[in-house]
Amino acid sequence: MPDYLLEVAEAVREDDGGAVADYIPQLAEASPDTLAIAVTTVNGRTHAAGDVDVEFSIQSISKPFAYAAAIMDRGLERVLRTVGLEPSGEAFNELSLETGTHRPKNPMINAGAIATHQLLLGEDADEDARVERALDFFSRLAGRPLAVDRAVYESEMATADRNFAIAHMLRTHGVIAAAAHDVVDGYTRQCSITVTAADLSVMAATLACGGVQPVTGERVVDAATARHTLAVMAGSGMYDAAGSWLTTVGIPAKSGVSGGLIGALPGQVGIGAMSPRLDEHGNSVRGVKMFERLSRDMGMHLM
Protein backbone atom coordinates (compact mmCIF):
# COMPACT_ATOMS: atom_id res chain seq x y z
CA MET A 1 0.00 0.00 0.00
CA PRO A 2 2.67 2.67 0.85
CA ASP A 3 4.49 1.97 -2.45
CA TYR A 4 1.21 2.12 -4.30
CA LEU A 5 0.23 5.45 -2.67
CA LEU A 6 3.68 6.85 -3.50
CA GLU A 7 3.07 5.90 -7.12
CA VAL A 8 -0.37 7.59 -7.02
CA ALA A 9 1.23 10.79 -5.67
CA GLU A 10 4.21 10.71 -8.07
CA ALA A 11 1.91 10.26 -11.06
CA VAL A 12 0.34 13.69 -10.44
CA ARG A 13 3.38 15.53 -9.01
CA GLU A 14 4.27 17.35 -12.24
CA ASP A 15 0.70 18.56 -12.83
CA ASP A 16 0.77 22.29 -12.10
CA GLY A 17 -2.76 23.05 -13.31
CA GLY A 18 -5.09 25.26 -11.28
CA ALA A 19 -4.29 28.04 -8.83
CA VAL A 20 -3.90 28.44 -5.06
CA ALA A 21 -6.91 30.27 -3.53
CA ASP A 22 -6.04 33.89 -2.84
CA TYR A 23 -9.35 35.43 -1.74
CA ILE A 24 -8.15 34.61 1.78
CA PRO A 25 -4.69 36.29 1.75
CA GLN A 26 -3.11 33.79 4.17
CA LEU A 27 -4.03 30.85 1.90
CA ALA A 28 -2.03 32.41 -0.95
CA GLU A 29 1.08 31.84 1.21
CA ALA A 30 0.70 28.04 1.00
CA SER A 31 3.37 26.17 -0.92
CA PRO A 32 1.62 25.14 -4.16
CA ASP A 33 3.77 22.00 -4.40
CA THR A 34 2.60 20.39 -1.17
CA LEU A 35 1.23 16.96 -2.07
CA ALA A 36 -0.14 14.29 0.25
CA ILE A 37 -2.41 11.28 0.19
CA ALA A 38 -3.49 9.13 3.15
CA VAL A 39 -5.84 6.18 3.39
CA THR A 40 -7.20 4.86 6.72
CA THR A 41 -8.84 1.47 6.79
CA VAL A 42 -11.82 0.64 8.98
CA ASN A 43 -9.49 -1.33 11.26
CA GLY A 44 -7.57 1.84 11.99
CA ARG A 45 -4.40 1.52 9.88
CA THR A 46 -3.26 4.62 8.03
CA HIS A 47 -1.14 4.34 4.89
CA ALA A 48 0.28 7.55 3.51
CA ALA A 49 2.58 9.14 0.95
CA GLY A 50 3.95 12.65 0.45
CA ASP A 51 3.68 15.60 2.84
CA VAL A 52 1.27 13.95 5.26
CA ASP A 53 2.51 15.93 8.26
CA VAL A 54 2.04 19.38 6.71
CA GLU A 55 -0.70 21.28 8.58
CA PHE A 56 -3.27 23.42 6.77
CA SER A 57 -6.65 24.92 7.63
CA ILE A 58 -9.56 22.51 7.21
CA GLN A 59 -11.81 25.16 5.52
CA SER A 60 -14.93 23.68 3.92
CA ILE A 61 -14.03 20.14 4.98
CA SER A 62 -15.24 21.33 8.39
CA LYS A 63 -18.75 21.54 6.95
CA PRO A 64 -19.80 17.85 6.99
CA PHE A 65 -18.32 17.38 10.46
CA ALA A 66 -20.00 20.49 11.90
CA TYR A 67 -23.23 19.29 10.27
CA ALA A 68 -22.92 15.91 12.02
CA ALA A 69 -22.26 17.69 15.35
CA ALA A 70 -25.29 19.98 14.86
CA ILE A 71 -27.54 16.97 14.20
CA MET A 72 -26.24 15.32 17.35
CA ASP A 73 -26.77 18.53 19.36
CA ARG A 74 -30.19 19.55 18.00
CA GLY A 75 -31.70 16.50 16.29
CA LEU A 76 -32.15 15.97 12.54
CA GLU A 77 -35.65 17.44 12.41
CA ARG A 78 -34.50 20.76 13.91
CA VAL A 79 -31.50 20.95 11.57
CA LEU A 80 -33.66 20.23 8.50
CA ARG A 81 -35.94 23.11 9.42
CA THR A 82 -32.95 25.42 8.89
CA VAL A 83 -30.89 23.80 6.10
CA GLY A 84 -32.01 21.79 3.05
CA LEU A 85 -30.64 18.68 1.36
CA GLU A 86 -30.55 19.42 -2.35
CA PRO A 87 -27.45 20.09 -4.50
CA SER A 88 -27.37 23.80 -5.34
CA GLY A 89 -25.76 23.49 -8.79
CA GLU A 90 -24.07 26.79 -7.96
CA ALA A 91 -20.69 27.85 -6.59
CA PHE A 92 -19.95 27.36 -2.88
CA ASN A 93 -20.20 31.08 -2.11
CA GLU A 94 -23.58 31.73 -3.75
CA LEU A 95 -26.55 32.40 -1.47
CA SER A 96 -28.56 29.49 -2.98
CA LEU A 97 -31.70 29.75 -0.84
CA GLU A 98 -34.80 27.65 -1.54
CA THR A 99 -37.77 29.61 -2.81
CA GLY A 100 -40.51 29.75 -0.18
CA THR A 101 -38.68 28.29 2.82
CA HIS A 102 -35.52 30.44 2.38
CA ARG A 103 -33.45 27.53 3.70
CA PRO A 104 -29.92 27.39 2.25
CA LYS A 105 -30.09 24.49 -0.22
CA ASN A 106 -27.56 22.29 1.60
CA PRO A 107 -25.02 22.38 4.46
CA MET A 108 -21.96 22.10 2.18
CA ILE A 109 -22.23 25.59 0.62
CA ASN A 110 -21.19 28.61 2.70
CA ALA A 111 -24.78 29.76 3.35
CA GLY A 112 -25.75 26.32 4.65
CA ALA A 113 -22.58 25.95 6.69
CA ILE A 114 -22.98 29.38 8.32
CA ALA A 115 -26.57 28.43 9.23
CA THR A 116 -25.41 25.01 10.48
CA HIS A 117 -22.61 26.48 12.62
CA GLN A 118 -25.09 28.54 14.65
CA LEU A 119 -27.10 25.37 15.42
CA LEU A 120 -24.16 23.89 17.36
CA LEU A 121 -24.95 23.36 21.05
CA GLY A 122 -28.12 25.41 21.51
CA GLU A 123 -29.79 28.78 21.16
CA ASP A 124 -28.12 30.24 24.25
CA ALA A 125 -24.56 29.24 23.32
CA ASP A 126 -22.07 31.97 22.42
CA GLU A 127 -19.55 31.75 19.61
CA ASP A 128 -16.65 30.78 21.88
CA ALA A 129 -18.66 27.80 23.10
CA ARG A 130 -19.62 26.80 19.55
CA VAL A 131 -16.02 26.94 18.38
CA GLU A 132 -14.97 24.88 21.42
CA ARG A 133 -17.67 22.35 20.51
CA ALA A 134 -16.31 22.09 16.95
CA LEU A 135 -12.72 21.83 18.20
CA ASP A 136 -13.54 19.08 20.68
CA PHE A 137 -15.62 17.15 18.13
CA PHE A 138 -13.01 17.43 15.35
CA SER A 139 -10.24 16.46 17.81
CA ARG A 140 -12.11 13.30 18.77
CA LEU A 141 -12.61 12.48 15.08
CA ALA A 142 -8.88 12.98 14.39
CA GLY A 143 -7.77 11.28 17.63
CA ARG A 144 -5.51 14.18 18.65
CA PRO A 145 -6.01 17.73 19.95
CA LEU A 146 -6.51 20.22 17.10
CA ALA A 147 -6.25 24.03 17.25
CA VAL A 148 -7.37 27.17 15.40
CA ASP A 149 -4.75 28.90 13.19
CA ARG A 150 -5.11 32.54 14.32
CA ALA A 151 -3.32 33.95 11.27
CA VAL A 152 -5.70 32.19 8.85
CA TYR A 153 -8.71 33.23 10.94
CA GLU A 154 -7.67 36.89 11.07
CA SER A 155 -6.79 36.95 7.39
CA GLU A 156 -10.17 35.52 6.40
CA MET A 157 -12.12 37.80 8.76
CA ALA A 158 -10.47 40.84 7.16
CA THR A 159 -11.75 39.76 3.73
CA ALA A 160 -15.01 37.95 4.62
CA ASP A 161 -17.38 40.53 3.08
CA ARG A 162 -19.17 37.93 1.04
CA ASN A 163 -19.82 35.67 4.04
CA PHE A 164 -20.99 38.71 6.07
CA ALA A 165 -23.41 39.53 3.24
CA ILE A 166 -24.65 35.93 3.20
CA ALA A 167 -25.13 35.92 7.00
CA HIS A 168 -27.04 39.22 6.89
CA MET A 169 -29.35 37.79 4.21
CA LEU A 170 -29.86 34.65 6.32
CA ARG A 171 -30.83 36.86 9.25
CA THR A 172 -33.36 38.86 7.25
CA HIS A 173 -35.03 35.55 6.38
CA GLY A 174 -34.93 34.37 10.01
CA VAL A 175 -32.59 31.47 9.15
CA ILE A 176 -30.09 32.61 11.80
CA ALA A 177 -31.00 34.25 15.08
CA ALA A 178 -27.63 35.47 16.36
CA ALA A 179 -25.83 38.60 15.11
CA ALA A 180 -24.49 38.03 11.58
CA HIS A 181 -20.99 39.20 12.50
CA ASP A 182 -20.70 36.80 15.44
CA VAL A 183 -21.88 33.79 13.43
CA VAL A 184 -19.36 34.49 10.64
CA ASP A 185 -16.67 34.93 13.29
CA GLY A 186 -17.40 31.49 14.76
CA TYR A 187 -17.79 29.85 11.35
CA THR A 188 -14.45 31.34 10.23
CA ARG A 189 -12.70 29.99 13.33
CA GLN A 190 -14.25 26.59 12.59
CA CYS A 191 -12.78 26.77 9.05
CA SER A 192 -9.36 27.79 10.46
CA ILE A 193 -8.85 24.61 12.52
CA THR A 194 -5.62 23.00 11.27
CA VAL A 195 -5.27 19.38 10.20
CA THR A 196 -2.92 17.17 8.20
CA ALA A 197 -3.88 14.85 5.31
CA ALA A 198 -3.42 11.96 7.76
CA ASP A 199 -5.88 13.59 10.21
CA LEU A 200 -8.39 14.01 7.39
CA SER A 201 -8.17 10.36 6.40
CA VAL A 202 -8.85 9.26 10.01
CA MET A 203 -11.74 11.74 10.32
CA ALA A 204 -13.22 10.46 7.05
CA ALA A 205 -12.67 6.86 8.13
CA THR A 206 -14.80 7.58 11.21
CA LEU A 207 -17.73 8.39 8.91
CA ALA A 208 -16.91 5.29 6.81
CA CYS A 209 -17.01 3.25 10.04
CA GLY A 210 -20.56 4.37 10.82
CA GLY A 211 -19.31 6.93 13.37
CA VAL A 212 -16.78 4.84 15.34
CA GLN A 213 -13.27 6.34 15.28
CA PRO A 214 -11.26 3.35 14.01
CA VAL A 215 -8.03 4.14 15.92
CA THR A 216 -9.40 5.08 19.37
CA GLY A 217 -12.52 2.90 19.12
CA GLU A 218 -14.67 5.79 20.42
CA ARG A 219 -18.17 6.20 19.01
CA VAL A 220 -17.99 9.88 18.03
CA VAL A 221 -21.05 10.02 15.74
CA ASP A 222 -24.20 7.92 15.97
CA ALA A 223 -24.69 5.54 13.04
CA ALA A 224 -27.76 7.26 11.56
CA THR A 225 -26.04 10.68 11.58
CA ALA A 226 -22.86 9.27 9.98
CA ARG A 227 -24.94 7.73 7.20
CA HIS A 228 -26.98 10.90 6.68
CA THR A 229 -23.80 13.02 6.54
CA LEU A 230 -22.22 10.74 3.92
CA ALA A 231 -25.37 10.93 1.82
CA VAL A 232 -25.30 14.75 1.90
CA MET A 233 -21.60 14.71 0.97
CA ALA A 234 -22.39 12.46 -2.00
CA GLY A 235 -25.01 14.91 -3.26
CA SER A 236 -23.34 18.26 -2.57
CA GLY A 237 -19.77 17.78 -1.33
CA MET A 238 -18.10 18.72 -4.61
CA TYR A 239 -20.34 21.73 -5.25
CA ASP A 240 -21.33 22.28 -8.87
CA ALA A 241 -19.01 19.39 -9.88
CA ALA A 242 -21.05 16.93 -7.77
CA GLY A 243 -22.60 15.12 -10.75
CA SER A 244 -19.38 14.46 -12.66
CA TRP A 245 -17.62 13.53 -9.40
CA LEU A 246 -20.24 10.95 -8.51
CA THR A 247 -20.07 9.34 -11.95
CA THR A 248 -16.27 9.30 -12.35
CA VAL A 249 -15.09 8.78 -8.74
CA GLY A 250 -18.25 7.59 -6.98
CA ILE A 251 -17.06 8.26 -3.40
CA PRO A 252 -18.89 10.62 -0.98
CA ALA A 253 -16.42 13.49 -0.65
CA LYS A 254 -15.78 17.05 0.51
CA SER A 255 -13.24 19.58 -0.67
CA GLY A 256 -11.82 22.75 0.88
CA VAL A 257 -10.19 25.88 -0.56
CA SER A 258 -6.88 25.23 1.17
CA GLY A 259 -6.53 22.16 -1.09
CA GLY A 260 -7.74 19.40 1.21
CA LEU A 261 -10.07 16.68 -0.01
CA ILE A 262 -11.72 13.84 1.91
CA GLY A 263 -13.59 10.77 0.75
CA ALA A 264 -15.34 8.08 2.76
CA LEU A 265 -16.30 4.71 1.39
CA PRO A 266 -18.79 3.12 3.83
CA GLY A 267 -17.42 0.03 5.53
CA GLN A 268 -14.06 0.34 3.75
CA VAL A 269 -11.80 3.37 3.99
CA GLY A 270 -11.42 7.07 4.68
CA ILE A 271 -9.16 9.05 2.35
CA GLY A 272 -7.47 12.42 2.92
CA ALA A 273 -5.60 14.33 0.21
CA MET A 274 -3.86 17.69 0.10
CA SER A 275 -2.64 19.76 -2.85
CA PRO A 276 -3.35 23.52 -2.82
CA ARG A 277 -3.91 24.34 -6.51
CA LEU A 278 -7.67 24.41 -7.25
CA ASP A 279 -9.82 24.03 -10.36
CA GLU A 280 -12.64 26.40 -11.35
CA HIS A 281 -15.05 24.71 -8.90
CA GLY A 282 -12.69 25.21 -5.95
CA ASN A 283 -11.62 21.55 -5.83
CA SER A 284 -7.96 20.46 -5.61
CA VAL A 285 -6.68 19.61 -9.12
CA ARG A 286 -4.16 16.94 -8.09
CA GLY A 287 -6.41 15.78 -5.23
CA VAL A 288 -9.22 15.03 -7.69
CA LYS A 289 -6.76 13.19 -9.97
CA MET A 290 -5.49 11.02 -7.11
CA PHE A 291 -9.06 10.16 -6.14
CA GLU A 292 -9.89 9.24 -9.76
CA ARG A 293 -6.91 6.90 -9.80
CA LEU A 294 -7.75 5.28 -6.44
CA SER A 295 -11.36 4.79 -7.47
CA ARG A 296 -10.30 3.16 -10.75
CA ASP A 297 -7.48 0.95 -9.43
CA MET A 298 -9.12 -0.20 -6.23
CA GLY A 299 -12.71 -0.51 -7.44
CA MET A 300 -13.76 2.08 -4.86
CA HIS A 301 -16.66 3.44 -6.92
CA LEU A 302 -19.88 2.94 -4.92
CA MET A 303 -21.94 2.09 -7.97
**Among 26, 59, 106, 275, which residue interacts with ligand DON (rule: CB under 6 A)?**
59
Q: For residue 219, what are the contacts with CB-CB under 8 A and spacing of at least 6?
A: 211, 212, 213
Choose the binding region for ligand DON from 115-123, 127-135, 242-250, 251-259 (rule: CB under 6 A): 251-259
Choose the binding region for ligand DON from 47-55, 196-204, 244-252, 253-261 (rule: CB under 6 A): 253-261
Q: Which is nearer to ligand DON, 60 or 213 (CB)?
A: 60
Ligand-binding annotation for 60, yes or no, is: yes
Ligand-binding annotation for 283, yes or no, is: no
Closest residue by Cα to residue 185 from 91, 258, 103, 118: 118
Q: For residue 222, what are the contacts with CB-CB under 8 A and spacing of at least 6?
A: 72, 211
SS3 content of the chain, % helix, strand, coil (to 5): 50, 15, 40
The answer to whether residue 191 forms part of the interface with ligand DON (CB under 6 A) is yes
Using CA atoms, how far apart are residues 295 and 89, in angstroms rounded to an integer? 24
Shortest CB 214 distance to ligand DON, Å: 25
Number of amino acids touching ligand DON (CB under 6 A): 12
**Among 92, 137, 138, 291, which residue interacts with ligand DON (rule: CB under 6 A)?**
92
Shortest CB 168 distance to ligand DON, Å: 15
239 has catalytic annotation: yes
The answer to whether residue 163 forms part of the interface with ligand DON (CB under 6 A) is yes
67 has catalytic annotation: no
63 has catalytic annotation: yes
Using CA atoms, how far apart are residues 179 and 48, in angstroms rounded to an integer? 42
User: According to DSSP H, which parts of 119-240 are helical?
Assistant: 127-142, 150-157, 161-172, 180-191, 197-208, 223-236
Q: Which is nearer to ligand DON, 49 or 262 (CB)?
A: 262
Ligand-binding annotation for 284, yes or no, is: no
Closest residue by Cα to residue 197 from 55, 302, 29: 55
Choose the binding region for ligand DON from 73-81, 203-211, 255-263, 287-295 (rule: CB under 6 A): 255-263
Q: For residue 285, what are the contacts with CB-CB under 8 A and spacing of at least 6?
A: 15, 17, 18, 275, 277, 278, 279
Ligand-binding annotation for 187, yes or no, is: yes
Q: Which is nearer to ligand DON, 65 or 92 (CB)?
A: 92
Closest residue by Cα to residue 257 from 97, 108, 83: 108
Enumerate the active-site residues: 60, 63, 187, 239, 257
